[in-house]
Amino acid sequence: MKLKRVRSEDIASLNSIVDLEKELFLDGGLNIWAIQPIAEYQFIYKYGQGDLCAYAILLSKVKDPKTVYLFSFGVAKNQQGKGVGKSFLKELRLELCSVGFTNLELTVASENKAALHLYKSQLEVLSKSFIKGCYGDGEDREKFVFKI
Ligand SMILES: CC(C)(COP(=O)(O)OP(=O)(O)OC[C@H]1O[C@@H](n2cnc3c(N)ncnc32)[C@H](O)[C@@H]1OP(=O)(O)O)[C@@H](O)C(=O)NCCC(=O)NCCS
């Protein structure tokens, strides 16, 4: 599988990512109006061979230019549980290192066992905290800073 940065002109790939966002996050999924400017000014990667299999959306942290925030990360439902997330994360780390980032920040729901296991088994935890009501009542999140 290949990792590729998606540029803002590649509307077909961006629309495939919008479709995956809907599949994985339903109403919480980002639309093309949000994704296109992120591709222009921040970082979007796709992973797959032919069809899009997985994607990552990342934002650089203004207060700390060595840190990048993993805004969204997903594997198509029909490809989950086959090691794609793990190999994608490995490739993504190499790419982010080459761009100059040293730390990866993210939030994840405590119930999201697959994501928690993936991140914690692949990355060294630098710090961890709990954000109550991160996205409103009942939407708590665990926040991690990992070494890339
Ligand atoms: C989280 C996600 C990216 C994982 O991708 P994946 O391709 O299914 O994961 P992999 O097959 O590479 O598995 C990675 C590890 O997680 C483990 N795992 C997979 N599903 C699991 C589950 N439900 N509970 C616990 N561990 C799980 C695997 O056994 C594997 O562990 P190992 O390396 O020790 O063998 C994927 O499930 C996904 O896209 N989920 C929906 C979107 C999402 O929640 N994104 C993250 C938001 S923070």
CA geometry: angle 40, 9, 55, nearest 5 deg: 70
Domain 2-147 architecture = 3-Layer(aba) Sandwich (3.40)
The count of other CB atoms within 10 Å of the CB of residue 45 is 21
Residue ranges around ligand 1 (CB below 6 Å): 24, 73-75, 80-86, 108, 112-115, 117-118, 121
Distance 4 CA to ligand 1 centre (A): 21
The residue with tokens 């490739």 is 91
Domain-wise residue ranges, the chain: 2-147
Q: Give Cα separations from 87 to 29, 47, 51, 75, 84 (angstroms).
A: 23, 10, 16, 11, 5
pTM of this prediction? 0.97
Residues in the chain: 148
Alpha carbons 38 and 124: distance in angstroms, whole number: 27
Mutate to test the pocket of ligand 1, among 80, 107, 140 (most ligand atoms within 8 A of CB): 80
The pair of structure tokens assigned to 127 is 């710090």
Question: pLDDT (tens digit, 9 = 90+) per residue, 74-113?
Answer: 999 999 999 999 999 999 999 999 999 999 999 999 999 9
- Positions in the chain short of pLDDT 70: none
CA geometry: angle 79, 81, 87, nearest 5 deg: 80
